[in-house]
Structure 1
């Protein structure tokens, strides 16, 4: 009987210990969970970037999530962007995408979903994804693209990189039709 009571007491203590540990374990798991939430959220943004008093770019987006509280800081535009790039002559080139993410440390913008770039003179480039290097003012992708010059000529294929003014192009493989070659 004494042994039976000892087993019951021991079992009760162990059950109590296990139940109390379960609560502590949940607390530890909750502490170790990283909260992935933006530091700030901005709606209906219209940002103008200037340099030496001249507007260089205008960014319009319905929503920006700022993750500057993360180790690798970034800004997310889950509802897309409309970006106007203004060159030194005051001519506008336009960039539109369904989604974008801008990495603060690298100055790279990842444009995704129905990406379309339109130049002031009617040239257009479409791709499912493009990267924009803000520092070097350079676009690039490994995805398929289609470039049209506004006069009936086009080039398409996988992989391209080019300057923001469409003056310098590097293509991996392409095909297309070029009209009015002089």
Structure 2
């Protein structure tokens, strides 16, 4: 009888263990999120100096005092709450500079959203002023659907949309609201 009792107990323990084993789920992602609030960044970096190269050639250089890493989100991004300086280099290594008060880099789309007092200074010393501008890293294209002002040595053009290639030698201003031609003798 003792043998039958221990055999019954052994089967109950095995059944219980198998139930526990098969009821467990793989919650590795949930375990990773323990202690990380959903609205908090997963990391913070200070004094950023990020260089983007392609085939050994420097294409862009992003500088910022602070970066918040939200790669723990489904649509991951990096936020630059204290502003950025984005240096963009053309094929001849000539530099254009974009400065903004705030920026977000969307990792899945390679799109940089620049906001607040956006200023572009091209290699030819032309300037573009906007409140919001996007830089598409995949297509090397800059665009905005907000009011812009383009200032060159010869003219000032204002409009409600802007797009340009990375070198700023091909650009367009849509819905032009004003053109002011400057004298050849005037200084900017």
TM-score interval (norm. to shorter): 0.7 to 0.9
Residue 51 of structure 1 deviates from its aligned partner by 1.6
Give yes or no for the alignment of 1:62 onto 2:65: yes
Q: 2:84 aligns with which of 59, 81, 85?
A: 81
Give deviations 1:7-29, integer Å, cap 9, x for gaps. Answer: xxxxxxxxxxxxxxxxxxxxxxx
Q: TM-score of the superposition, structure 2-length normalised?
A: 0.74
What is aligned with 1:172? 174
Give deviations 1:140-174, integer Å, cap 9, x for gaps. Answer: 1111100011x141110111111121222232211
What is aligned with 2:135? 132
**Alignment RMSD (CA, Å):** 1.8
Give unmatched runs, 5+ long, in structure 1.
1-30
CA–CA distance in structure 2, aligned partners of residues 160 and 55 of structure 1: 25
SS at match of 1:173: strand
Q: 2:124 aligns with which of 114, 121, 125?
A: 121
Q: 2:47 aligns with which of 33, 36, 44?
A: 44
When the two structures are aligned, how many residues end up with a matched partner? 148
CA–CA distance in structure 2, aligned partners of residues 117 and 105 of structure 1: 25
What is aligned with 1:72? 75
Give deviations 1:125-148, integer Å, cap 9, x for gaps. Answer: 000011111111111111110001
Tell me which stretches of 4 or more aligned residues in structure 1 moved more than 4 Å.
none
Give unmatched runs, 5+ long, in structure 2.
1-33
CA–CA distance in structure 2, aligned partners of residues 97 and 115 of structure 1: 4
